[in-house]
Structure 1
Amino acid sequence: MIGLGPLTGLTAGVTLAAVVATFGIARLRGRYDTIDSFWGLGFALIAVVALPFGTAPVPMRLVVAVLTVLWGVRLSVHLHLRNHGKPEDPRYRKMVERAGPRPAARLFVRVYLVQAVILWFVSLPVQFAMYGNGFGVTAWLGIALWLIGFVFETVGDEQLRRFRADPANRGGLLDTGLWRYTRHPNYFGDACVWWGLFLLACAWWPGAATVLSPLAMTFLLVRGTGKPMMEASLRRSRPRYADYVARTSGFVPLPPKRTAAR
């Protein structure tokens, strides 16, 4: 067993090493969007590294690790399959074009190192939860919230995958299933997962100090690289998107509004 302080140092080093290795793989593949496939696996790696060192009861540590690994592996597999066989994500191509004479070095610092810091910071509730006091009210609430988020994220992604796989939907807009109630069921689910893990960290009072971690993840999804970038692209490519925005909640699932067009 080691203390929480040394553990956070260990996970920081592991995260950095894993991101450097991912960058090497990206260079070999010639695709900088490899970091997207690593994102979820990075959280799973931190959970596995932290598992043996905590002082929380073993069942508590196992639950935290399993929930994190399930979420992380599913997300990484989903993103890898989504990108496989397709050209590199346009976001990364634009970054390369704007990076100047040394694009690899610039992308390593501006994308890979930045994501390493964010990944480690967002994972703090997982690390703190390994030192908690066991299953109390907040832990059970956290598990319930995690489950809601995991279902929303998994079902939303699968509904979108099936919609895109049907040639009849080419150029169309998914507004059924979970997408009828929120424009981003997968992002909403992602946020719920991390607020659930935060509640698990609150099984002991220092865990409450990690509240900035789920706030950071939620901010990235709602105001950062998630929702705004996705919606900007859809506004340009989908003529019906403005009507969809007018009647559908932007994040939290709500009954659709009535609009004049309907």
Structure 2
Amino acid sequence: MSFDWAAAGILLAVAVAVVVVAFAATLVVARAVGRHSVVDVTWGLGFVLVAVAAYVTSGLLGVGNDLVRLVALVLPVVWGLRLAIYIAWRNHGKGEDPRYAEMLGDDHPPGAVTAHVLRKVYVPQMGVMVVVVLPVLAAMVRTSTVTAVLVIGAVIWLVGFVFESVGDAQLARFKAKPENKGTVLDSGLWRYTRHPNYFGDFCVWWGIFVVACGHPAGLVTIVGPVLMSYLLIGVTGKELTEKSMSSRPGYPEYVERTSGFFPLPPGSAPARAT
């Protein structure tokens, strides 16, 4: 058997349990430190924990291919650790994220847990994480090794990882200079796309999906990268960021010449069309 459906079901149950525990622990930390923005660190770290749990569990079950399992472990772990560390560094010493503060309202003490914040922040992120991580679980239980698929998936992942990490580093350096306050970053990767970090995230999860597709059964996990793409482009990523940036001086001109998501030459017709 080249794909173990029973083992996949077990890994899914393990993933759900890990996600629930991770976010429950995050709630405890949020109450202690008085801000729910700590959940952004869990977003990256949660994928790390699920990938490690899936790798260990698949090993104990004796399923999957060792090389494929290792690749399916390394890709989300490296991505998740970098993201968690970066967000923890970025948020260090800051107060509550304005998004979460708005959800709670002025009448709630810092870090207060309400049905509203659970419904708007924690439960949706838990659900999305379980869906997005499906390609990792699928890759852990297939026994066939299709080298070309692994290489293509890893290359797509690497492109995404470079875009996301370099884009974040360029933005951090830009914001660190007082003279840049209130201005728009339009150099480096930000010259070719208004959202190199979100584009990188997009590539990371499509790359992991390709790794899972060494067996046709992995195709069913396409719901993971599709959901992530939808969120990055149309909901919490590009759309939300541009809404908050729209009134900044110089931003409308930046939008006119720079691609909205996929990297394109600045000022080109396709870039202006987005």
Provide TM-score, normalisation by structure 1.
Answer: 0.94
Could you report, residue by residue, the CA deviation over 1:141-183 in whole angstroms, capped at 9, with x for unpaired residues?
1000000000000000000000000112111110000000000
Supply the distance in 1 between the matched residues of 2:217 and 2:107 (Cα, whole angstroms): 41
Residues 107-116 or 152-161, more deviating: 107-116
Match of 1:60 among 68, 86, 106: 68
User: d(CA) in 1 for partners of 2:107 and 2:197?
Assistant: 31
Q: Is the 8 A contact 2:183 2:249 kept in 1?
A: no
Query: How many matched pairs?
Result: 258
Q: Deviations over 1:68-103 (max 9, x none)?
A: 100001001111111111221111110001898985
User: 1:63-74, aligned counterparts within 5 Å?
Assistant: 63-74=71-82
Q: Counterparts of 2:196 and 2:258 in 1: how far apart (Å)?
A: 11
Deviation of 1:109 after TM superposition, in Å, equals: 2.9
Q: Which of 212, 222, 228 does residue 223 from structure 2 map onto?
A: 212
Q: Which residue number corresponds to residue 49 of structure 2?
A: 45
2:174 to 163, 173, 189: 163
Matched residues in 2 for 1:110 and 1:169: separation? 33
Other-structure match for 1:137 = 148
Identity value in percent? 47
What residue number does 1:198 align with?
Answer: 209
| Structure 2 Cα separation of the partners of residues 192 and 68 of structure 1 | 12
- How far apart, CA to CA, are the structure 1 residues paired with 2:173 and 2:30? 28
Measured in 1, the distance between the counterparts of 2:16 and 2:216 equals: 23
1:221 to 232, 253, 261: 232
Aligned to 2:260: 250
Q: State the match for 2:164 in structure 1.
A: 153
Who is 1:21 aligned against?
25
Q: Which residue of 1 aligns with 2:246?
A: 235
The aligned counterpart of 1:128 is 138
1:109 aligns with 2:119: yes
| Aligned counterparts of 1:4 and 1:99: Cα–Cα separation in 2 | 45
**TM-fit CA distance, 1:136:** 2.9
RMSD after superposition = 1.9
**Gap runs ≥5 in structure 1:** none
Q: Detail structure 1 runs of 4+ shifted over 4 Å in the superposition.
A: 98-103
Deviates more, 1:90-99 or 1:239-248: 90-99
Q: Tell me which amino acid in the other structure corresponds to 2:264.
A: L
Distance 2:146 2:81 in 1: 25
